[in-house]
Amino acid sequence: MAKHYEALQRAEAERKRKAGLGPEPSGSAAVGWDTTPHSAPKPKRRVRKLFRNASESVSNAEDSANELNKRRVAILQPESFASEQFRMLRGRIDALATQQKLQTVAVTSANPGEGKSTASINLAVVTAMSVGRKVLLVDCDLRRPKVHKTLGLAPQSGLAEVLLQSSTFEDSVINVDSLGLDVLCVRSLPGNPSELLASAQMKQMLAMAAEVYDQIILDTPACLGLPDSKTISELSDGILVIVRADVTRKEDVDAVLEILDRRRLIGMVLNGVEASGSQYGYY
């Protein structure tokens, strides 16, 4: 009789547990928690959490490294399919340059993350490979600069310092001798980026650079929501718009074309298209 009573007690306890009316059975300690009131977590679960956090950190670091490598594909894999596409882009710009002045080319996109910095950096790299051509890459994104990180540079001064006249243009330009490329990075993020980019100092700086360099590539901020890209594009000879496949909406492309001066638009680059046999998906 006592055995039946104990079985009924266990059944009733199980029913209450499932209904949320009773304590967990002792077997619940297997998940790493004590069943006594106000108990602290056992180390087992905390260790699992630490391992999970470490795994996520490693994964994020790998993603960041992969993203940086994609932005410098013309450096790491100069013979790759993606690098050849940037050479083709350079060739098309050179062909257009026989019909109109294209010494200064601004590269933009509708939204962040669509590949404008990737296009700017790789276009500048392959253009600098041309024999006898002096090329300058300028990071004009005073909000989210990427050029210095991608190229592994540590500028002591940059675009903001030049425009604020706390440093000279000559002292701020970094020569990447291995690439045959000069770069003006962003070091500090000013509180008035739009005003600096629209200043007389910006116009004077580009005019001075045009006396020294055969080709100037401007990596501008994304176009929608900010005046920066329009301001810079009006100081350039031509504009390239980067469109990311399956990401950039047609409405956003239409909006960009309404904002920018179409007379300066020299073309669009479709980015993010997977090519057969190519590690990096760029056109």
Q: What is the mean pLDDT of the chain?
A: 81
Residue 122 has pLDDT above 60, yes or no: yes
Residue 105 has pLDDT above 60, yes or no: yes
Residue 35 has pLDDT above 70, yes or no: no
CA distance 135 to 214: 6
When pLDDT is cut at 50, 70 and 90, the band that residue 50 belongs to is: low
Mean of the pLDDT values across residues 224-252?
93
Write out the two tokens for 283. Answer: 């056109």
Query: What is the per-residue pLDDT for 280?
Result: 44
Which pTM value belongs to this model?
0.73
Which CATH homologous superfamily contains domain 72-271? P-loop containing nucleotide triphosphate hydrolases (3.40.50.300)
CA distance 169 to 19: 73
Residue 21 has pLDDT above 60, yes or no: no
Residue 1: DSSP 8-state: -
Write out the two tokens for 134. Answer: 């002096």
Residue 162 has pLDDT above 90, yes or no: yes
Pick from 42-56, 75-89, 90-104, 177-191: least confident: 42-56
Q: Give the residue among 238, 210, 203 at the shortest CA–CA distance from 99.
A: 238
Percentage of residues in the chain having pLDDT higher than 70: 72
Write out the two tokens for 217. Answer: 């590539």
Mean of the pLDDT values across residues 114-142?
94
Query: What is the per-residue pLDDT for 60?
Result: 44
When pLDDT is cut at 50, 70 and 90, the band that residue 186 belongs to is: very high
When pLDDT is cut at 50, 70 and 90, the band that residue 99 belongs to is: very high
Q: Say which residue, 137 or 31, is predicted with more confidence.
A: 137
Q: Say which residue, 3 or 219, is predicted with more confidence.
A: 219
CA distance 283 to 270: 6
Query: What is the per-residue pLDDT for 72?
Result: 72
Residue whose entry in the numeric block shows the structure tokens 């002292």: 171
Residue 164 has pLDDT above 50, yes or no: yes
Q: Evaluate whether 133 touches 212 at the Cβ level (below 8 Å).
A: no
Pick from 142-156, 157-171, 200-214, 264-278: least confident: 264-278
Residue 201 has pLDDT above 80, yes or no: yes
Query: What is the per-residue pLDDT for 42?
Result: 52
Residue 76 has pLDDT above 90, yes or no: no
* Helix boundaries (H) for 98-142: 116-128
Residue whose entry in the numeric block shows the structure tokens 């009789």: 1
